[in-house]
């Protein structure tokens, strides 16, 4: 798809992908989607059954980033369920560096809100550029699960041949599904109820989830209510649940510290196909900020919330390493690692802290192993707050800059060996440590 009043893709990558040998294109996909209805109870064990209940036509869009040269393609497409809780689409992973590892990436518009937008923020696709996006139509969110399946299938190894191919003829081997925050709740429902019916995805990455799944009925935005009021109604209709234990594909939940108190009720042991990673010092916003970079905000005219967010422990390197680890696992290599969870205590779960005021347990990235700040992750905006150590504290912890650099190097080496970051991320940590223990702001 090209043209429109603005002449550009809403939510496109911020950088010049062509310089990296990648193509970014937008496609419209139309069809007839099923809406599912629960058969029985949606219980906390996630063993859910649904059946097709009604149908409606749809037309939606997908952004595809793929290597221009087939030799650079690793065979996997990461399919993100775009987040719409802000009243417009946020593809949190769109600006990650999956291209450095040969992945293709697809941002799939599956929900009505992303197309129609809100009265407060006229940033729905059809509002943002009616000439380009005016033909898009999703009858309601009950159809979102099947729409997500159908669009992903059109990119996968079993896609129809002949005609327009969004993958440009690339030999796709696998499809990974990824959802963050609100989209993670929908993806959790998908895993528990729809995966067995659709059989589209080879692995799932559920990111910054609070352990609640969405139901299968329609949620229609009420323009008489504020966006916050609408979101509160939507959240009230979620179901506390875990991932069902009889899945036969990898399901990885990657959470920040922000979600810890809310997710405790949904914790479950790691298993043959399930992993739960919880990253100390990271926040909900640190995972979703990729779709709100200042340059994207200026280009697309969306609120620049990320500009005021502090530099917390970054989840993006963990997600990039997780994708590589999932591919290795599915290729017969070592499975993803199992790691400690963040320590909590009390009937109202409270995060336990170490001598520096940072969380105990969890995945401990170099910023936590060699701290220069206290990471406060429970804030109203889910972005967190930093309390930098004073000079005397830093000097007591790291008598010389070399002490800090050595601790960072050891932590980064461990993270690479554990499959939590890739070698390029280790190199970045080591390079930055050369400046000494300078607090992040």
pLDDT tens figures, 186-209: 999 999 999 999 999 999 999 999
Q: Is residue 378 part of a domain?
A: no
Mean pLDDT, range 213-234, rounded to an integer: 76
- 120-153, pLDDT tens digit by residue? 888 999 999 999 999 999 999 999 999 999 999 9
Report if residue 346 sits inside a domain.
no
Query: How do strand 76-81 and strand 174-180 relate by DSSP bridges?
Result: parallel
Spatial separation of the C-alpha atoms in residues 145 and 198, rounded to whole Å: 9
The residues that bridge with 385 in the sheet, in sequence order, are 376
Q: Could you tell me if residue 352 is inside a domain? A: no
In a domain, 37, yes or no: yes
pLDDT value at 22 more than 70: yes
For the ranges 123-137, 176-190, 210-224, the lowest mean pLDDT is seen at: 210-224
Range of the domain at 132: 17-249
pLDDT at residue 53 tops 90 = yes
* Average of per-residue pLDDT across 353-366: 97
Q: How far apart are CA 212 and CA 209, in angstroms?
A: 7
Task: Please give the mean pLDDT across all residues of the chain.
Answer: 92
Mean pLDDT computed over 374-400: 92
**Coil vs helix vs strand at 326:** helix
Q: What percent of the chain has pLDDT over 70?
A: 95
Domain count, the chain: 1
Residue 2, classified by CB atoms within 10 Å of its CB into exposed (0-12), middle (13-18) or buried (19+), is exposed
Residue 93: what pLDDT?
74
| DSSP states along 331-366 | TTSPPPP--PPBPEETTTTEE-B-TTSPBSBSB--H
Q: Can you give the pTM of this predicted structure?
A: 0.94
Tokens of 386: 């930093």
Average pLDDT in the 29-47 region?
96
Residue 372 lies inside a defined structural domain of this protein:
no
**Each residue's pLDDT tens digit, 398-419:** 999 999 999 999 999 999 999 9
Q: If you ran DSSP here, which 8-state letter would residue 440 be given?
A: P
**Cβ–Cβ under 8 Å, residues 268 and 276:** yes
Mean pLDDT check: name the lowest of 2-11, 343-352, 412-421: 2-11
CB-based contact 388:347 (threshold 8 Å): no
Per the domain annotation, does 367 fall within a domain?
Answer: no
Higher-pLDDT residue of 428, 306:
428
Q: Let me know the angle formed at the C-alpha of 221 by 216 and 224, rounded to the nearest 5 degrees.
A: 145
Residue 234's pLDDT band (cuts 50, 70, 90): low
Please state which of the ranges 54-68, 126-140, 215-229, 257-271 shows the lowest mean pLDDT: 215-229
pLDDT at position 5 over 50: yes
In a domain, 411, yes or no: no
Q: Is residue 407 one of the residues assigned to a domain?
A: no
């Amino acid at each position: 798809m090209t043209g429109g009043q603005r002449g550009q893709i809403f939510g496109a990558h911020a950088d010049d992908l062509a310089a990296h040998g990648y193509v970014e294109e937008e496609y419209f996909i139309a069809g007839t989607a099923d809406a599912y209805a629960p058969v029985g109870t949606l219980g906390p064990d996630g063993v859910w059954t649904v059946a097709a209940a009604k149908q409606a036509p749809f037309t939606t869009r997908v952004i595809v980033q793929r290597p221009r040269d087939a030799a650079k393609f690793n065979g996997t497409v990461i399919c993100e369920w775009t987040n719409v809780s802000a009243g417009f689409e946020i593809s949190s992973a769109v600006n990650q560096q999956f291209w450095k590892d040969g992945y293709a990436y697809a941002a799939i518009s599956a929900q009505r809100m992303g197309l129609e937008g809100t009265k407060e923020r006229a940033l729905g696709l059809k509002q943002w550029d009616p000439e380009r996006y005016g033909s898009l139509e999703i009858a309601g969110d009950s159809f979102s699960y099947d729409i997500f399946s159908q669009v992903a299938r059109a990119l996968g190894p079993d896609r129809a041949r002949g005609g327009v191919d969004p993958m440009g003829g690339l030999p796709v081997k696998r499809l990974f599904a990824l959802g963050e925050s609100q989209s993670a709740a929908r993806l959790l429902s998908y895993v528990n109820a729809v995966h067995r019916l659709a059989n589209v995805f080879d692995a799932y990455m559920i990111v910054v989830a609070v352990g609640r799944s969405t139901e299968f009925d329609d949620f229609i935005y009420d323009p008489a209510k504020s966006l916050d009021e609408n979101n509160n109604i939507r959240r009230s209709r979620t179901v506390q649940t875990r991932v069902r234990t009889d899945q036969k594909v990898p399901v990885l939940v990657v959470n920040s510290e922000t979600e810890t108190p809310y997710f405790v009720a949904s914790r479950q042991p790691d298993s043959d196909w399930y992993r739960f990673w919880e990253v100390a010092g990271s926040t909900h916003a640190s995972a979703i900020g990729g779709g709100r970079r200042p340059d994207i905000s200026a280009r697309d005219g969306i609120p620049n919330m990320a500009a005021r967010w502090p530099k917390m422990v970054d989840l993006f390197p963990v997600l990039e390493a997780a994708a590589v680890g999932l591919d290795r696992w599915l290729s017969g290599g070592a499975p993803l690692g199992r790691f400690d969870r963040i320590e909590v205590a009390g009937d109202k779960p409270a995060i336990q802290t170490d001598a520096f005021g940072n969380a105990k347990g969890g995945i401990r990235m170099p910023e936590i192993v060699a701290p220069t700040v206290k990471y406060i992750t429970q804030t109203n905006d889910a972005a967190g707050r930093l309390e930098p150590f004073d000079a005397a504290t830093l000097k007591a912890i790291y008598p010389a800059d070399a002490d800090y650099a050595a601790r960072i190097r050891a932590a980064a080496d461990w993270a690479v060996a554990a499959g939590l970051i890739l070698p390029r991320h280790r190199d970045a940590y080591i390079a930055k440590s050369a400046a000494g223990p300078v607090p992040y702001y």
